[in-house]
């Protein structure tokens, strides 16, 4: 089996596992979320049951909401199965982490594809769109790493930009494929995104809020505007430099990825990182990759918190250097920590402007923005994230 066949086989297995996790959502959630609450209610004394007479009714509604979410995931799975042949040897059962990622997709879908979450999306839009309109001609090439389920691609595609998303989570990729390509009508489906969170509510009805999705029919909207595509894989692996980056769990040394990276060099007018820049275990690899893909004069726009995903992760990975010509491996370190290099926004701007030839155009900090947060503020105590926003222009003729 050659490199391409092996990669395809690995990818098919990973996709199959996610599809099965979608098909199992209802069964899993009824067992892990609903049944335990029924048991808890049954376990309390008759006197205490009288104190919460509405709880049985609440449980009935919770069960109905889970079943409705299950229908959504079943449709996503069925759509995905049209383009993948699930051979039995490829079926690996999802684990608890797969299932919890599936559950959390509901808030992602709410964030990106509901009318209720528009104020959340506009934290970036209200800053980015005026700048793009004034400074970046339509038909420019935009890259959105960590694009989630792809909504920003549609919004910017509507403005005539050619948008490429990049995403490494098959959970996200399969849902984006469904929402972008399955031809859904506006408000066709109902999901209950908040039922997996049992804390902070003022009223139970808020937790059980039905949300109609998608708020726009992406398929019919995109005709005649900018192009749209999503590249599956790790950002640094797909778009990073071919030299000077250590091999790690997010950067491989394969012919396929080397070609992808060579093609990516100086290919984009704009890179937009939205709730993304803090997701890696080495943010400097992200910065190098952004520089690598931008055309001279290109723009990097960032929005989001600096909530480093690996800051409390005690895991390790193997990293090493590779000579791109001989394939010789050097400086192998099997215990490179995942945590570390959690740069502040000042650090990032300093590196970008003093060492990577960027010029600062706009910068703001302390912007409060939710992430999949229930929109009825009165009913929920989740305050959102303190976000950083900046726009930088890359001008390689600057002296560093």
Q: How far is the CB of 167 from ligand SAM (least distance, A)?
A: 5
Q: How far is the CB of 107 from ligand SAM (least distance, A)?
A: 10
319 binds ligand SAM (CB under 6 A): no
The contact pattern for ligand SAM, residues 68-107, with x = CB under 6 A and - = no contact, is ----------------------------------------
177 binds ligand SAM (CB under 6 A): no
The phi and psi torsions of 301 (rounded to 5 degrees) equal -115, 130
Q: Rounded distance, CA 151 to CA 218, Å? A: 9
Give the nearer residue to ligand SAM in terms of CB position, either 61 or 104: 104
Q: Which residue is nearest to ligand SAM (CB)?
A: 146
Q: How far is the CB of 232 from ligand SAM (least distance, A)?
A: 9
Please choose, out of 60-68, 161-169, 260-268, 387-395, the segment that lies near ligand SAM by the rule CB under 6 A.
161-169
Please choose, out of 53-61, 62-70, 162-170, 253-261, the segment that lies near ligand SAM by the rule CB under 6 A.
162-170
**Site size for ligand SAM (CB under 6 A):** 19
Q: How far is the CB of 30 from ligand SAM (least distance, A)?
A: 27
162 binds ligand SAM (CB under 6 A): no
Q: How far is the CB of 235 from ligand SAM (least distance, A)?
A: 4
- Among 164, 151, 158, 162, which Cα is nearest to 215's? 151
Query: Could you say which of 194, 276, 358, 390 contacts ligand SAM (CB under 6 A)?
Result: 276
Give the nearer residue to ligand SAM in terms of CB position, either 62 or 271: 271
Q: Rounded distance, CA 347 to CA 351, Å? A: 6
Q: Which residues contact 50 (CB under 8 A, 6 or more apart)?
A: none
Query: Could you say which of 162, 166, 176, 209 contacts ligand SAM (CB under 6 A)?
Result: 166
Query: Could you say which of 21, 102, 107, 169 contacts ligand SAM (CB under 6 A)?
Result: 169
Please choose, out of 27-35, 144-152, 211-219, 384-392, the segment that lies near ligand SAM by the rule CB under 6 A.
144-152
145 binds ligand SAM (CB under 6 A): yes
Q: Rounded distance, CA 303 to CA 174, Å? A: 24
Token duo for residue 140: 């420019």
Query: Could you say which of 207, 209, 245, 274 contacts ligand SAM (CB under 6 A)?
Result: 274
Give the nearer residue to ligand SAM in terms of CB position, either 111 or 241: 111
| Residue indicated by tokens 């290919």 | 267
For residue 32, the 8-state DSSP code is I
Longest CA–CA separation in the chain, Å: 77
Query: Could you say which of 22, 117, 136, 146 contacts ligand SAM (CB under 6 A)?
Result: 146
Token duo for residue 258: 């080397």
For binding to ligand SAM (CB under 6 A), which residues are involved? 111-112, 145-148, 166-169, 172, 234-235, 250, 274-276, 279-280
């Amino acid at each position: 089996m050659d490199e391409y066949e092996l990669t395809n086989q690995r990818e098919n297995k990973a996709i199959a596992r996610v599809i099965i996790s979608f098909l199992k959502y209802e069964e899993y959630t009824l067992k892990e979320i609903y049944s335990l609450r029924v048991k808890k209610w049954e376990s309390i004394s008759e006197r205490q049951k009288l104190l919460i007479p509405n709880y049985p009714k609440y449980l009935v509604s919770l069960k109905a909401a889970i079943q409705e979410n299950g229908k959504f995931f079943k449709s996503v799975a069925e759509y995905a199965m049209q383009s993948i042949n699930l051979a039995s040897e490829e079926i690996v059962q999802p684990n608890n982490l797969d299932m919890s990622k599936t559950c959390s997709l509901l808030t992602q879908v709410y964030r990106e594809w509901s009318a209720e979450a528009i104020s959340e999306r506009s934290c970036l839009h209200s800053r980015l769109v005026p700048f793009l309109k004034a400074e970046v001609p339509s038909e420019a090439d935009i890259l959105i790493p960590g694009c989630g389920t792809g909504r920003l691609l549609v919004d910017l595609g509507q403005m005539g930009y050619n948008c490429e998303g990049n995403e490494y989570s098959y959970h996200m990729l399969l849902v984006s494929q469904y929402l972008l390509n399955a031809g859904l009508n506006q408000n066709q489906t109902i999901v209950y995104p908040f039922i997996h969170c049992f804390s902070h509510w003022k009223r139970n009805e808020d937790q059980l809020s039905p949300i109609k999705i998608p708020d726009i029919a992406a398929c019919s909207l995109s005709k005649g505007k900018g192009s749209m595509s999503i590249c599956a894989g790790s950002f640094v692996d797909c778009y990073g430099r071919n030299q000077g980056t250590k091999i790690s769990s997010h950067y491989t040394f394969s012919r396929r990825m080397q070609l992808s990276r060579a093609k990516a060099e100086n290919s984009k007018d704009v890179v937009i990182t939205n709730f993304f820049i803090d997701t890696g275990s080495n943010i400097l690899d992200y910065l190098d990759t952004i520089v690598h893909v931008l055309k001279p004069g290109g723009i990097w726009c960032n929005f989001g918190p600096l909530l480093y995903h690996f800051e409390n992760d005690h895991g390790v990975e193997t990293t090493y250097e590779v000579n791109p010509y001989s394939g010789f491996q050097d400086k192998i370190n099997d215990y490179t920590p995942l945590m570390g290099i959690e740069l502040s926004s000042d650090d990032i701007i300093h590196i970008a402007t003093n060492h990577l030839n960027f010029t600062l155009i706009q910068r703001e900090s302390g912007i409060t923005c939710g992430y999949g947060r229930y929109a009825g503020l009165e009913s929920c105590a989740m305050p959102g994230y303190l976000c950083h926003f900046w726009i930088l222009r890359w001008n390689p003729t600057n002296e560093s």
